[in-house]
Amino acid sequence: MLLRTELRRLRIRRLVWLFVVAGILGSFFVLFTTWVSAQPITDEMREQAEMAYQDQLERWEEHGEEEIERCEEDQARMADETGENPGFDCADMMPQREHFLPHEQSLAEHVEWPGLTSAVMILGVVGLAIGTTAVAAEFSSGAMATLLTFQPRRLRVYAAKVGAVALATVPLSLLLCTILGVGMWAVFEIRGLDATVSDALLWTAVRALALLPAAAIVGAVLAFLLRSTAVVLAVVAGFAIAWEAIGVGMAQTLVPFSIRANLVGWLQYGHTYFVNACESQPDGSVFCDSTEQTVSFAWNAGFLAVVGVVLIAVGALVFRRRDLS
């Protein structure tokens, strides 16, 4: 009964509908940027590439042997300095026609980056905004105190409001994911580019459905803790700058504990990143070696689940014990 009431209150709240419209418009804007970035190779580009290729081929016929010798000398010098073969592939330096053509992006490459980032931004921000405003408005208007006078069981109220924002955002998540997913596929298909939908891409779209309701739950819980939409947005922005951008950006070993990295891992079934190990050389230069690290999908899902459960538990405990005044 209480859950049904909360769902009805969400349905009639104008600000919620405003965020719904903003999410739909934002999704179509993402499709517009996809259309702009999905550029097929034109005849003019092919002619320019052929001219550049022929020019480089003439130079190679005149100076190719000299360049190979110089490359092999540099490779030997690097091997002596570092003790490892740098793998310059000097024998493959001859110009190749396909290297002069612009790269045609496929749908899978676009989704991996930047399509996925845009979708995460739209779904995350809309969900967070709906969850936050749905609860914070109750505190600012005094409706929460009124509600608790005839429904004093706070945990029941807490569960109803958090559950309502989660359920109410499921249809919106389905709508926005359909617009983004089908829209990106249609753009690449119309442009005549590689629009192959692999099983991995399909599962990425399925897992993306959980993003918006999860963000709405986080927004609602943060609103229970902070009681103000402005404060919630300030805390989220501060966390994104201090931890995600500065902290994780400066110390790559912290990537497994990054919300953003684990969200990407959740969508892409695992996440890879590089850790640089730099050493000073005898000649004063600095040599950096990048090591690829992998965070498993199990870690991504487990980390996000633990953070979510802890956040919900803290929100319930604080709301149950704290005075409303």
Indicate if the pLDDT at residue 66 is higher than 90.
Answer: no
- On whether both 168 and 87 belong to a single domain, the answer is no
Indicate if the pLDDT at residue 178 is higher than 80.
Answer: yes
pLDDT value for 236? 94
In a domain, 207, yes or no: yes
Mean pLDDT, to the nearest integer, of 302-307?
96
Average per-residue pLDDT for the chain: 89
Based on the structure, what is the number of domains in the chain? 2
Mean pLDDT, to the nearest integer, of 114-123?
87
Question: Which strand (E) or helix (H) includes residue 293?
Answer: strand 286-295
CA 227 to CA 136: how far, in whole Å? 5
- On whether both 6 and 153 belong to a single domain, the answer is yes
Question: Which strand (E) or helix (H) includes residue 5?
Answer: helix 2-12
Indicate if the pLDDT at residue 98 is higher than 90.
Answer: no
- Copy the structure tokens of residue 137: 């408005």
- Using only the alpha carbons of the chain, give its radius of gyration: 26
- On whether both 14 and 53 belong to a single domain, the answer is no
pTM of the model: 0.83
In a domain, 124, yes or no: yes
What is the pLDDT confidence band of residue 125, given thresholds at 50, 70 and 90? very high
Q: Residues of 185-205 as b/e, b for ≥16 C-beta within 10 angstroms?
A: bebbeebebebeeeeebeebb
**Do 313 and 321 meet the contact criterion of CB atoms below 8 Å apart?**
no
CA 123 to CA 210: how far, in whole Å? 9
> Within 13 Å and on the Cβ side, how many CA atoms surround 313?
6
Percent of the chain exceeding pLDDT 70 equals 98
Q: pLDDT per residue over 259-293, tens digit each? A: 999 999 999 999 998 887 777 776 667 777 778 88
Identify the three-state secondary structure at position 271.
strand
Q: Which of 36, 58, 41, 60 is nearest to 98 (CA)?
A: 41
Q: Residues of 94-133 as b/e, b for ≥16 C-beta within 10 angstroms?
A: ebeeeebbeeebebbebbbeebbebbbebbbbbbbbbbbb
Q: pLDDT per residue over 126-171, tens digit each? A: 999 999 999 998 888 888 888 888 777 889 999 999 999 999 999 9
Q: Domain range spanning residue 155?
A: 1-38+105-321
What is the pLDDT confidence band of residue 325, given thresholds at 50, 70 and 90? low
Q: pLDDT per residue over 213-270, tens digit each? A: 999 999 999 999 998 999 999 999 999 999 999 999 888 889 999 999 999 999 999 9
CA 111 to CA 185: how far, in whole Å? 10
- On whether both 248 and 298 belong to a single domain, the answer is yes
- Copy the structure tokens of residue 287: 């040599």
pLDDT value for 103? 83
- On whether both 68 and 115 belong to a single domain, the answer is no
- On whether both 33 and 53 belong to a single domain, the answer is no
- On whether both 75 and 6 belong to a single domain, the answer is no
Highest mean pLDDT among 55-59, 178-182, 191-195: 178-182
**Do 268 and 301 meet the contact criterion of CB atoms below 8 Å apart?**
no
- On whether both 128 and 263 belong to a single domain, the answer is yes
